[in-house]
Amino acid sequence: MSVWPLPSKSPATGDATSAYSAGGAGTERNGAALLPVWELPELSADAELVVSELVTNAYRHAPGTDSFELELVRREDGVRIALADGNAVRPVIAELKADNQPTGRGMAIVAALATRWGAEDHHGGKRVWVDLERPADA
């Protein structure tokens, strides 16, 4: 298991966008880099995308959270990726609209890649978790 605490705000500017740029950006690559070590290289690209979506959602939808925690856990058949934040509001898969908005697709992408996903209560907030399993032919 590997855990990364992520800043909720940038020390330089005090805003969440800068925090992602400073502390969160690259986290998805760092997490995905573990998968070849764990003999799961075929899940690296999907894991990188899932981490990116979860971290982005946390910064966008959990303002005021003191910190975020990203966790990757090696499982027999794959990996569990989890992100905890201090906001108890659970993620939903948004209905896509025809207005071509560039946002609102993250959890639909996560659900399409995941074997299973969900959210659970975590210290007054929530932990969103995603299971990725290696393909049967791997």
Between 48 and 4, residue with greater pLDDT: 48
pLDDT recorded at residue 110:
94
DSSP letter string, the chain: -EEEEEESS-TTT--HHHHIIIIITTHHHHHHHHHHHTT-GGGHHHHHHHHHHHHHHHHHH-TT-SEEEEEEEEETTEEEEEEEES--PPP--PPP-TT--S-S-HHHHHHHH-SEEEEEEETTEEEEEEEEE--TT-
Out of 3.30.565.10, 3.40.50.300, 3.20.20.70, 1.10.40.30, which CATH number does the structure's domain 2-133 have?
Answer: 3.30.565.10
Per residue in 90-124, pLDDT (tens digit) is: 888 877 666 666 666 789 999 999 999 999 999 88
The reported pLDDT for the residue numbered 1 is 59
**What is the distance, to the nearest Å, from the Cα of residue 105 to the centroid of all Cα atoms in its chain?**
14
pLDDT at residue 87 in the model? 87
Which pLDDT does position 133 carry in this prediction? 97
The alpha carbon of 90 is separated from its chain's Cα centroid by a whole number of angstroms, namely 13
Q: What is the pLDDT of residue 93?
A: 84
Does 128 score more than 90 pLDDT? yes
What pLDDT, in 10s, does the model give residues 31-40? 778 888 889 9
Q: Which two tokens stand for residue 2?
A: 């590997």
Q: How far is the C-alpha of 100 from the C-alpha of 112, rounded, in Å?
A: 20
Which two tokens mark 14?
A: 């005090």
